[in-house]
Amino acid sequence: MKTVIMGAVLACGLVSAANAQAERPMTQFTRSALLSALSGIDAETEEQSGKPNISVTFDNGLMADALLMACEDQETSRNCLGTSILVTYETPDDATPAKVREAINEYNYRQNFGRAYLDPDGQISLRMYIIADGGITMANYKRQLALFSLSAAKLPDYVYGE
């Protein structure tokens, strides 16, 4: 009986140690961690030849561009502290710039994952930036990416009135 109890205690300890290891916060982002996180939320990815950017299609059809930033070596995406996800949208032909700005402001007021803006060329853009400073678990990384895709899918409702 004593052996069975000791075995159970050791097994629980090993499971707890494995869970703790799995949830150890990342203090830097890697390309493999980003790809794993995106895969973990059923997003499809496509590497861009010769570029650090990754094309992403979320499970809701939203298309984005992912890039690791604030890296020790930007070209190789080594030891990065930030993840940037960018989505761009077509500007409606029949909307005035004031109407587009109003829609973007309303989106930013009501949604919390990402920041919408007009880029210098007038392109409607939405970006989320996730930092590893202080540590982030893989579960949190995946959750933020998933929530961004849900929120970003709502921007057209504000801009196009759909």
Set out the domains of the chain in order of their start, with CATH numbers.
27-160 (3.30.1460.10)
pLDDT bin (cut points 50, 70, 90) of residue 10 is very low
Considering only CA atoms, which of 74, 35, 79 is closest in space to residue 56? 35
Show Cβ contacts of residue 72 under 8 Å, excluding neighbours closer than 6 positions: 78, 79, 80
Find the helix packing angle between 138-152 and 31-40, rounded to 10°: 60
Residue-wise pLDDT for 108-121, tens only, equals 999 988 999 999 98
- Residues 30 and 135: beta-carbon distance below 8 Å: no
pLDDT of residue 86: 97
How does pLDDT run across 46-67, given as a tens digit for each residue? Answer: 988 888 899 999 999 999 999 9
Mean pLDDT, all residues of the chain: 87
Q: Is 23 helix (H, G, I), strand (E, B) or coil?
A: coil
pTM: 0.81
Do residues 151 and 114 make contact, with C-beta atoms less than 8 angstroms apart? yes
Q: What's the pLDDT score for residue 87?
A: 97
Q: What average pLDDT does range 123-143 have in this prediction?
A: 96
Q: How many residues does the chain have?
A: 162
Look up residue 51 and give its DSSP letter.
S
- Helical spans, DSSP H, in 23-154: 31-40, 97-110, 138-152
Give the pLDDT confidence score for residue 89 in this predicted structure: 95
pLDDT tens across 11-29, in order? Answer: 455 444 445 455 799 999 9
Give the pLDDT mean for 73-81: 86
